[in-house]
A and B are shown apart, each in its own frame.
Chain A
């Protein structure tokens, strides 16, 4: 059949190539129109491509392009109208299927038509600026089928309904959904957006607004976040399965806004399950989820961070100001460390190590630790405790770990010089009583302090170690020289301390027992003999002594006591009963120290080598003391603790503070002079700012004090006020 037709046409075309038959165009078009019908009816297999192509070619060549084009538009439109009505006729669920099938058919037909009319596409269309065949096909499909009133609304409704069904857990034909959304995209992004995406986002917003309302009323925070996360993932998955990739950002924005942003304050502050509760209960998973979700919305993390910060500050403040806690400094610091560990863990495991959170944590710690002016003292006490006994039998790495943690707390301190002061005292006590567990650990900590605060900070501490070393050598020399004369007397061990390196304490002399005094004289002579031009003075308040004592039933004990206690006990060699006055006069121990040492000798259970009359906790000037010959102890060696290295009492604390203040003055002055030497002229505010900056690593100077120091420097003519501007200072050299 096709051969016959082809033949008939051949003759016609050939004949009329030159002489244009008025009917030629009409006839040729009919053939092409017929072919288009056949293509839409799936009957294309019999058609000759060459023939159709040649006809279209000739039409264009003979200036019938316009006719060909408009004919194409008309024919295609009429076909699409038929298709459109057949789609409209499709029942319920079949609608999408039908639409999808017709779309596939149309696509195929479009390609065939384009191939046949390629010559037109190539020459006629560009010249006349018409729409190319393929695009024309898409446009017609859009206008005739998708935008036909019946299809448009129905398509939209069905798509949204499918999404809704899927959200509520039903299974839908995702492949079909993908084809349809791809079709909308093929028709142009604007078609996809206007006909589907826009409505999709609106409906989703409504859906999630309602759902989040519902959830927030019925769930706790953790559960809510779990649900929100799941919804978010579902939407992302949905987009990847059957929507355009560009929709992902938009739909996630909707979910984020409706489910998180709109409720974030409520979520964070939710009673019994909000952020604070998560922190308290250490719900890392929930916290991590909160972090991930809140990161997506503007200001989400800021909110989380603020709430966390204020919580840390509040609890920290409670901790450092709780009078119960202040009773035990070691426990206090341990609590701080535990707290820090806890937050560190939260930040690393749940907040993905967010720098801003770390900073917030650090600033919170800095804030509340400095609320308590005794923090420096307590940290030093904690270290003291660790280095005395806490670190015994612990591996080197663990020691380092503890020390590093302490250093971390130390970094938060504003008054580092106060810490230094206490640390020096505590270190001195440790060194002199030989109580330090590990010299390596001591040195390691000093190295850490040095890297943190510089050479200046630790030079004196290092000097203390050097003194201990040289004292050992000195004692060896001493016993080598005098070994024979002193063999049967008491043993003496002297530590020579450089003035300035060690914490200065007012020299409170006491009268040593005669036996000891003789030894001391010998040592003094020996020492001054080898080192000329030095002065030795005895720090009796810092020494210790081991005494051998025999009690009532003949049992022997070795008593480890302080120098003061030794002086007191030696008196009982000659008497069994002494009044307070009788003790005070020969020893000349300062009253407060004497009372303390008597207290530990007479009032501590298990260590009461003396008896007191009347029996009471406190020592009064009228008390009488007796040798307790009924004293017993399980141990041969009895350590009678002085009330040492404990937290300072209130007046002592005041005193230390005053000393620290005094020490600060020269430092502030030095800083002012350094700055002025460099700047020559500077106004008051800038000096204060610079000084504060320079001294920050040690303490936070008080502006009033700085002002006073400036005045003092002016008096001493280091500086002068500018004659014109009273706020300006000049450096005088």
Chain B
């Protein structure tokens, strides 16, 4: 996998998730970060730090990105969410505009 095609997402604890850009761009916010003109730091380094999102949630989010990609390509499966994560996940979704 080429470096240009991936992006590193870092959680509040410093846990790093390397995922496809394509998947990350399911989030409108991340899409803007990576594509906005003028070259913000994120676009240049290919990594985004989320100081307010915990590793557990970020992991779930990454899973969601890939699931969403597949769903949009016609593979209709269920996306399971543990009830205890729901609230935080929703806040993160609002933040990421997903």
Q: Please say whether chains A and B are actual partners in one complex.
A: yes
A contact set with B: CB distance below 8 Å: 2, 6, 10, 13-14, 17, 39, 42, 44-50, 53-54, 57, 108-109, 111-112, 115-116, 118-119, 122
Q: Which residue of B lies closest to A45 (CB)?
A: B39
Instruction: Report Cα–Cα, A118/B37, bound state, in Å.
Output: 14
Contacting pair A118 B28 (CB below 8 A): yes
Contacting pair B52 A44 (CB below 8 A): no
- Given A46, A50, A112, which contacts B48 in the complex, CB threshold below 8 Å? A50
Contacting pair A112 B41 (CB below 8 A): no
Q: Which residue of A lies closest to B34 (CB)?
A: A49
Contacting pair B49 A122 (CB below 8 A): no
Q: Which residue of B lies closest to A57 (CB)?
A: B95
- Given A39, A50, A111, A118, which contacts B42 in the complex, CB threshold below 8 Å? A50
Contacting pair A46 B95 (CB below 8 A): no
Interface members, chain B 14-60 (any A CB < 8 Å): 28-29, 32-33, 36-44, 48-52
**Given contacts A14-B51, A49-B32, A44 and B97 within 8 Å (CB-CB):** no
Instruction: Report Cα–Cα, A119/B93, bound state, in Å.
Output: 12
Q: Which residue of B lies closest to A17 (CB)?
A: B52
14 example contacts (A-B, Cβ-Cβ < 8 A) are as follows A10-B51, A14-B51, A44-B40, A45-B41, A46-B41, A48-B41, A49-B33, A49-B48, A50-B33, A53-B32, A54-B51, A57-B95, A111-B36, A112-B40
**Given contacts A44-B38, A49-B43, A118 and B32 within 8 Å (CB-CB):** yes
Instruction: Report Cα–Cα, A48/B43, bound state, in Å.
Output: 9
Number of interface residues of B (CB under 8 A): 20
Contacting pair A14 B28 (CB below 8 A): no
Q: Which A residues touch B95, using CB under 8 A?
A: 54, 57, 119
Contacting pair A45 B28 (CB below 8 A): no
Q: Which B residues touch A6, using CB under 8 A?
A: 49
CB distance from A54 to the nearest CB of B (A): 7
Q: Is the interface of B mostly helix, strand, loop or mixed?
A: mixed
Q: Which A residues touch B29, using CB under 8 A?
A: 53, 118
Q: Which B residues touch A54, using CB under 8 A?
A: 51-52, 95
Q: Which A residues touch B48, using CB under 8 A?
A: 49-50
Contacting pair B51 A13 (CB below 8 A): yes
**Given contacts A14-B52, A122-B97, A53 and B33 within 8 Å (CB-CB):** yes
Instruction: Report Cα–Cα, A54/B40, bound state, in Å.
Output: 14
Residue of B29, B40, B44, B52 with most partner-chain A CB within 10 A: B40
Q: Which B residues touch A14, using CB under 8 A?
A: 51-52
Q: Which A residues touch B28, using CB under 8 A?
A: 118
Contacting pair A49 B51 (CB below 8 A): no
Q: Which residue of B lies closest to A7 (CB)?
A: B51
Residue of A14, A109, A115 with most partner-chain B CB within 10 A: A115
Q: Which residue of B lies closest to A2 (CB)?
A: B41
**Given contacts A10-B51, A13-B51, A50-B48, A45 and B36 within 8 Å (CB-CB):** no
Instruction: Report Cα–Cα, A109/B97, bound state, in Å.
Output: 22
Q: How many A-B residue pairs have CB under 8 A?
A: 65
Instruction: Report Cα–Cα, A85/B28, bound state, in Å.
Output: 37
CB distance from B39 to the nearest CB of A (A): 5
CB distance from A46 to the nearest CB of B (A): 6
CB distance from B46 to the nearest CB of A (A): 12
Give the 10 A-B CB pairs with smallest separation, nearest first: A49-B40, A44-B38, A115-B36, A49-B33, A115-B32, A10-B51, A45-B39, A112-B38, A48-B41, A49-B42
- Given A2, A17, A45, which contacts B38 in the complex, CB threshold below 8 Å? A45
**Given contacts A10-B51, A13-B51, A118-B97, A44 and B32 within 8 Å (CB-CB):** no
Instruction: Report Cα–Cα, A13/B36, bound state, in Å.
Output: 24
Contacting pair B39 A44 (CB below 8 A): yes
CB distance from A378 to the nearest CB of B (A): 85
Q: Which B residues touch A119, using CB under 8 A?
A: 95, 97
CB distance from A40 to the nearest CB of B (A): 10
Q: Which A residues touch B43, using CB under 8 A?
A: 49
CB distance from A668 to the nearest CB of B (A): 86
Q: Which B residues touch A46, using CB under 8 A?
A: 41
Q: Which B residues touch A42, using CB under 8 A?
A: 38
- Given A2, A17, A108, A122, which contacts B37 in the complex, CB threshold below 8 Å? A108
CB distance from A79 to the nearest CB of B (A): 15
Q: Which residue of B lies closest to A48 (CB)?
A: B41
Q: Which B residues touch A108, using CB under 8 A?
A: 37-38
Instruction: Report Cα–Cα, A108/B40, bound state, in Å.
Output: 13
Interface members, chain B 72-98 (any A CB < 8 Å): 95, 97
Q: A111-B37, A112-B36 are known contacts; what are 8 more A-B pairs with Cβ within 8 Å?
A: A10-B51, A45-B41, A49-B32, A53-B33, A57-B95, A108-B37, A112-B37, A119-B97
CB distance from A709 to the nearest CB of B (A): 89
**Given contacts A54-B52, A115-B32, A118-B97, A48 and B37 within 8 Å (CB-CB):** no
Q: Which B residues touch A50, using CB under 8 A?
A: 33, 42, 48-50
Contacting pair B38 A39 (CB below 8 A): yes
Q: Which B residues touch A48, using CB under 8 A?
A: 40-42, 49
Q: Which B residues touch A116, using CB under 8 A?
A: 36
Residue of A50, A115, A116, A118 with most partner-chain B CB within 10 A: A50
Q: Which residue of A lies closest to B44 (CB)?
A: A45
Q: Which A residues touch B33, using CB under 8 A?
A: 49-50, 53, 115
Q: Which residue of B lies closest to A123 (CB)?
A: B94
Q: Which residue of A lies closest to B29 (CB)?
A: A53
Instruction: Report Cα–Cα, A39/B50, bound state, in Å.
Output: 22
CB distance from B70 to the nearest CB of A (A): 26
Q: Which A residues touch B44, using CB under 8 A?
A: 45
Q: Which A residues touch B49, using CB under 8 A?
A: 6, 48, 50
Instruction: Report Cα–Cα, A29/B44, bound state, in Å.
Output: 25
Q: Which B residues touch A49, using CB under 8 A?
A: 32-33, 36, 40-43, 48
Q: Which residue of A lies closest to B48 (CB)?
A: A50
Q: Which A residues touch B37, using CB under 8 A?
A: 108, 111-112
